[in-house]
Chain A
Amino acid sequence: DIVMTQSPDSLAVSLGERATINCKSSQSVLYSSNSKNYLAWYQQKPGQPPKLLIYWASTRESGVPDRFSGSGSGTDFTLTISSLQAEDVAVYYCQQYYSIPFTFGPGTKVHIK
């Protein structure tokens, strides 16, 4: 199984400042035949289901604000919120869909400093 890890566990950021979340997979999720990283980011607010933010490591889902961006390849990935807004308070999860069983990272809780 591919193990996903995230850092930090929790992150306090001032409004308008940048938030950076790291995700690491225990093996590469880059599929060589199509050069795609099978890595997604989800946002989960309290009492709500997760919401897809980013897929293929860097493609923003329709309707997601452009302050959210994803980067990385292979085993190391980053989710960046360029200017934190109050509505971004949530837990963020990375997930690999490269191989079954699909696995999620443990989550990073983002709150306001």
Chain B
Amino acid sequence: QVQLVESGGGVVQPGRSLRLSCEASGFTFSSHAMYWVRQAPGKGLEWVALISSDGNNKYYADSVKGRFTISRDNSKNTMYLQMNSLRAEDTTVYYCARAAAASDYSPFDHWGQGTLVTVSS
């Protein structure tokens, strides 16, 4: 079955960096666009970034543009989110999610359990 497992979260000081990983299994990873979505404790959902199935197209929310970089390694069935210049407002749970189809413009049909990032001095 489809599984998405995030890792790499933790506590980090403002201005520092962190890299999240999302390891996928149970499906042909290279056939699906992938997303990062975040959710502050007790708050709603915010789409963060998208990467196309082949990794050539990448899009970001304005709130992270220029600071975060999404990437993927299809040979390792893994997606990444490099987060630089972290701010207190980046403190949230980060979910990776799979696009239901190869198209970038697809619903998010499978989600990981999330990894918590806390930005605090």
Query: Using a CB–CB distance below 8 Å, which chain A residues touch chain B?
Result: 38, 40, 42, 44, 48-52, 55-56, 61, 93, 95, 97-98, 100-107
- Could you say which residues of chain B place their CB within 8 Å of the CB of A42? 45, 108
Expressed in whole angstroms, the minimum distance between the Cβ of A45 and any Cβ of chain B is 12
CA distance A102 to B62 in the complex (A): 11
- Specify which chain A residues have a CB less than 8 angstroms from the CB of B112 in the assembled complex: 49
Q: Is the interface of A mostly helix, strand, loop or mixed?
A: loop
Contact call B111/A50, Cβ cutoff below 8 A:
yes
| Residue from A49, A104, A107 within 8 A of B47 (CB atoms) | A104
Pick the 7 closest A-B CB pairs, nearest first. A49-B111, A55-B107, A40-B107, A102-B47, A104-B45, A100-B59, A52-B109
Count of A-B contacts judged by CB separation below 8 Å: 57
Q: Mark B67-88, 1 if CB is under 8 A from A, else 0.
A: 0000000000000000000000
Residue of A whose beta carbon sits closest to that of B114: A49
B12 at the interface (CB under 8 A from A): no
A72 CB, min distance to chain B CBs, angstroms = 15
Q: How far is the CA of A56 from the CA of B110 in the complex (A)?
A: 16
Q: List 25 A-B contacts (CB under 8 A).
A: A40-B107, A40-B108, A42-B45, A42-B108, A44-B45, A49-B95, A49-B114, A50-B37, A50-B95, A51-B111, A52-B100, A52-B108, A52-B109, A61-B109, A95-B107, A98-B105, A100-B50, A100-B104, A101-B61, A101-B62, A102-B35, A102-B50, A103-B47, A104-B44, A106-B44
